[in-house]
Each structure stands twice: as C-alpha cells, then as structure tokens.
Amino acid sequence: MPDTQNIVILTGAGISAESGLATFRGPGGLWEGQRVEDVCTPQALARDPALVHRFYDARRAALATVEPNPAHYALARLDAAWPGELLIVTQNVDDLHERAGARRLLHIHGELLSALCAACEARAEHHGDLPPGSVCTACGAPALRPDIVFFGEMPYHMPTIEAALAACDLFVSIGTSGAVYPAAGFVQLADHYGADTLELNLEPSAGSASFAQSRHGPASLLVPAWVDSLLD
C-alpha cells in the first residue's frame, strides 16, 4: 500500500477475544447467554432496569480481569507512529484500546466505563456497579444508565466517522462479523470513495466479499504483522 496516507480502522469483539472477553456471536458468545431483546434495547431498560444494569455491571467488572493483547498494542504503536490521518473506530465498549495506548479512537457503541444521564445527557466516567436510579452529578436526576448504544439507538460520532471514511486511502476491519449496521456498511462507503480495503478476521465475515483483501487468523498474529508491514 505505497500511497497510503489516511487510515480508518474498524474493530469489533474479535480483537478483544484473545484478551478473554467474549464475543457476541459464535461459540460461547454473549448473545448465547442472553437474548439481545432482554438486555440491549431501550424497551428492555424500561421493562427491567435491574436486569439490564446487572448485565453491564458484570461486563464492567470483567474489565479488571483482562489485559490488552498484541493486537491492541500494535494498533496503539501504529497510532503513535503514523504521520498521516488515522482513526480507530471501535464497536467495543471495553477500554482495552485505551489501556494499550491508542489515542485517535472513537467508541461508536459507547463505553462500559461511562455513565449517561437519561435526563440531561451528561456523561461521567464510572467504575463499579451502576444501580438503577443512580443520581446524575450534573442535574441531580436519579437517571444514570449505562452509556451503551442499544439496538434501535443512534450510534455515536457518525459525522466524524463518515468524514474520515470519505477521506481515507485505506479501510481496515478487524475482528468483526459484519452483522450490525452502520459499521457493517463502512467497507462499502470506503470503497465507494476509492479507498483500499482489508479485512483481518478469524474467519470470513458477512462482508468479506466487499473487501479487496482478506486475511484470516487470530488478531494477535495478523494485526502486529500488518502494522509491521506499514511501519517497517
């Protein structure tokens, strides 16, 4: 990729799998233990707030038991060294990219370590459990909820992401099944704007045919090798 200047990287649960965090789909996936409709929709939050808050409390607590893996560190190394534009768009709500040192990073589906006020939309960093009715320090309402984009809600940072896709020369998708939009459509958008496209995934994703190149294997091997090919 000789004339690569601007890079957009999309990551999904597969990049955190080797750190020990469950993916959503596939053997042992998060959605196997739960029904999406029961824990990741506004209706579920209204119907059974305790269940939804407990689901995210458990995932937030799990963060303390895992570490970034070589794939997270490789992307952070690229972020620090890359002279052109670079944006990591993660669908993940864990903090492993941050802990590996990534800076040019956006969470399109929210973050476990953030609480959102359903009344005033203020956000605050939050560690530990977040019981329903927790009080917002900005407005005083007992309305804090997990700062997670539920199915049917608007993903975060879309204008910034779309502008980056329009300007990129290379779009790389890592560890995602291509099952959920709008992220699953980013490859078509990047391709439409003339970018080169590369998929790094354990197995072909639903969108594999849309990528100019696909490499299959564990992210902890594929991502450091890809970053080395760009930096060395």
Please report, as ranges, the residues that interact with ligand APR according to CB under 6 A. 12-14, 17-18, 23-26, 29, 91, 109, 175-177, 179-180, 201-203, 205, 218-219
What is the C-alpha end-to-end distance of the chain, expressed in Å? 13
Q: Give which of 103, 39, 213, 197 is closest to 90, Cα–Cα.
A: 103
176 among annotated binding-site residues: yes
Sequence-separated (6 or more) residues with CB below 8 Å from residue 43: 37
Nearer to ligand APR, 136 or 187 (CB): 187
Give the span between the Cα atoms of 87 and 71, in whole angstroms.
Answer: 15
Burial 71-82 (b: 16+ CB within 10 A, else e): bbbbbbbbbeeb
* The token pair that represents 80 in the structure block: 């620090």
Nearer to ligand APR, 139 or 179 (CB): 179
Least distance from C-beta 128 to ligand APR, angstroms?
A: 22
Catalytic residue among 72, 97, 107, 109: 109
Least distance from C-beta 206 to ligand APR, angstroms?
A: 8
Centre a 10 Å sphere on the Cβ of residue 65 and count the other Cβ atoms it contains: 9
59 among annotated binding-site residues: yes
Least distance from C-beta 180 to ligand APR, angstroms?
A: 4
Q: Give which of 26, 13, 114 is closest to 71, Cα–Cα.
A: 13
177 among annotated binding-site residues: yes
Least distance from C-beta 107 to ligand APR, angstroms?
A: 10
185 among annotated binding-site residues: no
φ/ψ (deg, to 5) at 227: -65, -40
219 among annotated binding-site residues: yes
Identify whether 109 is a catalytic site residue: yes
Nearer to ligand APR, 136 or 180 (CB): 180
91 among annotated binding-site residues: yes
Nearer to ligand APR, 5 or 188 (CB): 188
Alpha-carbon Rg for the chain, nearest whole angstrom, is 18
Nearer to ligand APR, 63 or 136 (CB): 63
φ/ψ (deg, to 5) at 67: -130, 155
* The token pair that represents 140 in the structure block: 């005083």
Give the span between the Cα atoms of 44 and 21, in whole angstroms.
Answer: 23
Least distance from C-beta 176 to ligand APR, angstroms?
A: 3
* The token pair that represents 111 in the structure block: 């973050």
As annotated, the active-site residues are 109
Task: Give the annotated binding-site residues for substrate.
Answer: 56, 59
Task: Give the annotated binding-site residues.
Answer: 12-31, 56, 59, 91-94, 117, 120, 136, 139, 175-177, 201-203, 219
Task: Give the annotated binding-site residues for Zn(2+).
Answer: 117, 120, 136, 139
Task: Give the annotated binding-site residues for NAD(+).
Answer: 12-31, 91-94, 175-177, 201-203, 219
